[in-house]
């Protein structure tokens, strides 16, 4: 799997992304693409208060049961506590202003 463009960076010229690309987002409305890292930064910026709240819940959970969060190799994490995912803001596509990335 070449979801991070490592093959191209290593010099391969004929790579078919059968599983998509993990480093590029594509708008589901207009098809515009953007860098995943830039989008991740935007998500963190627009959800700063939510992230602070989750981190506070995580700290409280660690104090209560001495456990660590479950960080996975793919970068996902098991978040402790009762995080309100309905409060997460998902920014619209910067091109068409209506689609989601």
pLDDT value of residue 21? 75
Question: How do residues 47-77 score in pLDDT, each as one tens digit?
Answer: 999 989 888 887 777 666 655 556 666 667 6
Distance of CA 71 to the CA centre of its chain: 14
Q: Is the pTM of this model over 0.85?
A: no
Q: How high does pLDDT run on average in the chain?
A: 81
CA Rg value for the chain: 17
> What is the three-class DSSP state of 35?
strand
Higher pLDDT, 24 or 71: 24
Residue 96's pLDDT band (boundaries 50, 70, 90)?
Answer: very high
Contact between 69 and 78 under an 8 Å Cβ cutoff? The reply is: yes
Percent of the chain with pLDDT over 90: 26
Question: How do residues 32-43 score in pLDDT, each as one tens digit?
Answer: 999 888 998 999
Q: Which residues are tagged catalytic?
A: 19
- Measured between alpha carbons, how far is 77 from 41 in angstroms, rounded to an integer? 17
């Amino acid at each position: 799997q070449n979801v991070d463009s490592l093959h191209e960076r290593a010099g391969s010229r004929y790579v078919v992304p059968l599983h998509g690309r993990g480093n590029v987002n594509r708008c589901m409305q207009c098809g515009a693409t953007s860098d995943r890292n830039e989008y991740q930064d935007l998500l963190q910026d627009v959800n700063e208060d939510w992230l602070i709240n989750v981190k506070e819940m995580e700290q409280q959970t660690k104090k209560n049961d001495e456990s660590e969060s479950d960080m996975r190799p793919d970068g996902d994490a098991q978040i402790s506590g009762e995080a309100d995912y309905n409060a997460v803001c998902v920014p619209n596509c910067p091109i068409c202003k209506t689609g989601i990335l």
